[in-house]
């Protein structure tokens, strides 16, 4: 059996988050979704559990960080191309998200990012499989 990863993120409103990520082309796993949690399918065996804040709080005794004011985690997704990176950022902006910085082009690696509606930062990166990162430095 392949390992799976579930990134848990607190959100204000599950339906609003579902609309946002649907606009980016993501699907959801209905078996693990309800009105308080939605299971975002990121890739094969990779999920983001978007949990309303009070439900998220039941998993930890620590205070839940406000992602609009501080950063606890950066979620990084690999992309198939530079065009996919740019396309996902454009879709996120059109759906109400924000771009926390300009794109970064390191030759062998291209990246950009978006903030979702709750302020979580999603890094997107394309790594050229034919490039030699040592030669770029």
Q: What is the pLDDT of residues 87-112, one digit of tens each?
A: 999 999 999 999 999 999 998 999 99
Distance CA 112, CA 65 (A): 23
62: CATH: 3.10.180.10
Q: Which domain holds residue 60?
A: 5-136
End-to-end CA distance of the chain: 39
Query: pLDDT tens across 45-84, in order?
Result: 999 999 999 999 999 999 999 999 998 899 999 999 999 9
* Contacts (Cβ under 8 Å, ≥6 apart) of 131: 107, 108, 109
Q: Number of folded domains in the chain? A: 1
What is the band of 86 on the pLDDT scale with cuts at 50, 70, 90? very high
Cα dihedral sign, 90-94-97-99: positive
H-run or E-run covering 90 = helix 82-94
Tokens of 50: 């978007």
Helix axes 82-94, 14-23, angle to 10 degrees: 140
């Amino acid at each position: 059996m392949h390992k799976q990863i579930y990134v848990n993120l607190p959100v204000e409103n599950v339906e609003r988050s579902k609309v946002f990520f649907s606009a980016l082309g993501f699907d959801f796993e209905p078996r693990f979704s309800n009105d308080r949690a939605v299971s975002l399918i990121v890739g094969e065996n990779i999920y983001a559990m978007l949990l309303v804040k009070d439900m998220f709080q039941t998993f930890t005794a620590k205070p839940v960080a406000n992602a609009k004011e501080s950063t606890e985690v950066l979620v990084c997704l690999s992309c198939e191309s530079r065009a996919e990176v740019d396309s996902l950022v454009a879709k996120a902006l059109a759906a109400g998200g924000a771009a926390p910085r300009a794109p970064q082009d390191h030759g062998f690696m291209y990246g950009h990012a978006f903030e979702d509606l709750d302020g979580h930062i999603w890094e997107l990166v394309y790594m050229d499989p034919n490039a030699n990162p040592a030669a770029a430095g």
